[in-house]
Structure 1
């Protein structure tokens, strides 16, 4: 997403916005996506949420957040992460959680998402999908069925804003405090959102 010009931001858990929304996207000045991993610190949900917001940016110039648009964004995310033609040959013809657990590691999506994909593509019935979801809830927290923290996957964390700030700091001498003043934010909040620390002079004792 960042390599195609979309600004992605992940507020820290201490940010008030992280407690009130899962994600948000807008086309305002340029495409912007806000992800709040603190709401669900699970790499698989994190990826699906990012793809869901990408779906809104691609499909909905006049995003209203209604149920139809949400379903369309979900369908986009599923096809984006697990394209039908690519994943269909690997999905089991009958429910097999061990097989789906292997696919989770390869495709980087949740077991729930893979079960949904199996049902969506007609490999299992609605009743089988419902029973499988119940089983997954019972297995939650057990080895192989636990959430994996986004912090364990550094490549999945935004870096575009930090890189832009570092370039501005190098080329124009921009500091965190100057940027915070322009935004009318605290320096701490700017540091959290950028993932940088203000550079301070190194003090040396002179004898």
Structure 2
């Protein structure tokens, strides 16, 4: 079912290898990636397949190779095709320090590892699709093929937000489709439960260390479209301002928030129309008009001095009461065109017209069909049957 030519593994499209056929093509880095995607420790994997954790560590470090029966057991335990563990395909490796995680303390190391491995897979999918479909060019000042270089572009977050609006020709009004705007300028954005139920514990994050900038938005924020839009703008700020990642750094997080606020609600436009005193009715109207949360507008009121610090703190208590009464309820992104990522899904659909299939692409990436659909944002949309 397989042949070696010039050191490269050639696979028949509708088959998978057994462990004995993988032979010398075993890639230790792919084992680490697969284990991180599963969220399992070395010991947990070792216990499942009946070896020692030391052995798994040696396989991942490359100091020893697993026997064919161990390879088969690894693939079964990790829910991957045996071919996933083979060398010979593009692999962009990331470190946890290469991504902007909002809060390291709230994101356990195992979940960060899973998030990083997911992002690596997103790049591989993007790379495979770009061989068939021309993506929008990356238009992010200072970004070139995985590096953000110092340019004459402003590094002050507020001025940078204003400059990027001008650079992208967005004017000064509401940004109607935040996520789509980012995709139109070559940024890959995803919104899938890549870590299962644990995804809700991971904040949005981003990286500029790959050939395309990638922003990962998480579904726990997708039930509030305005929070979702702010998260997207926040990560855009990181990509533009912070080529040197310092995950969890309070200063970088503060600057990304300042960028997002200015990008979504330019101060010159929003300041004159903010209410001179705390007026939730007016703030609600502005929220809908600008596509930002009332919470964000309250922060704007504090910044320009229309409410005092004490009034600002009390306003959140009042806002909580109003929400419990059915006012200012959160709305899902699903009802807002342009806020659900579509770049990867649309690229696949275009390639599909030229003969690409889910099965062919999954074979190329050496992943399962369910995994491919997850990466493409084509999750199971069927309603769940509940029996009572």
Q: TM-score, structure 1 length as denominator?
A: 0.87
Q: Which has the larger radius of gyration?
A: 2
- Residue of structure 1 aligned with 2:318, choices 108, 117, 135: 135
Q: Which ranges in structure 2 are unaligned for 5 or more consecutive residues?
A: 1-181, 380-388
Deviation at 1:196, TM superposition (A): 4.3
CA distance in 2, matches of 1:137, 1:143: 10
Trace 1:1-207 onto structure 2 (pairs within 5 A). 1-12=182-193, 15=196, 18-27=199-208, 28-39=210-221, 41-65=223-247, 66-171=249-354, 173-196=355-378
Which protein has the bigger helix share? 1
Q: Secondary structure at the match of 2:338?
A: helix
CA distance in 2, matches of 1:148, 1:126: 28
CA distance in 1, matches of 2:195, 2:300: 35
Structure 1 residue ranges, 4+ long, deviating more than 4 angstroms after superposition:
none
CA distance in 2, matches of 1:149, 1:34: 17
Q: Is the 8 A contact 2:189 2:214 kept in 1?
A: yes
CA distance in 1, matches of 2:360, 2:214: 23
Q: Secondary structure at the match of 1:33?
A: strand
- Comparing 48-57 with 144-153, greater Cα deviation is found at 144-153
Q: Is the 8 A contact 2:228 2:333 kept in 1?
A: yes
Q: Which ranges in structure 1 are unaligned for 5 or more consecutive residues?
A: 198-207
Q: Is the 8 A contact 1:13 1:19 kept in 2?
A: no
How many residue pairs were aligned? 196
Please tell me the root mean square deviation across aligned C-alpha atoms, in Å. 1.9
Deviation at 1:16, TM superposition (A): 5.5
Q: TM-score, structure 2 length as denominator?
A: 0.48
**Any idea what the Cα deviations from partners look like across 1:157-179, whole Å, max 9, x if unmatched?**
111101111122222x2211222
Deviation at 1:105, TM superposition (A): 0.7
Deviation at 1:75, TM superposition (A): 0.3
Alignment correspondent of 2:47: none
CA distance in 1, matches of 2:256, 2:246: 12
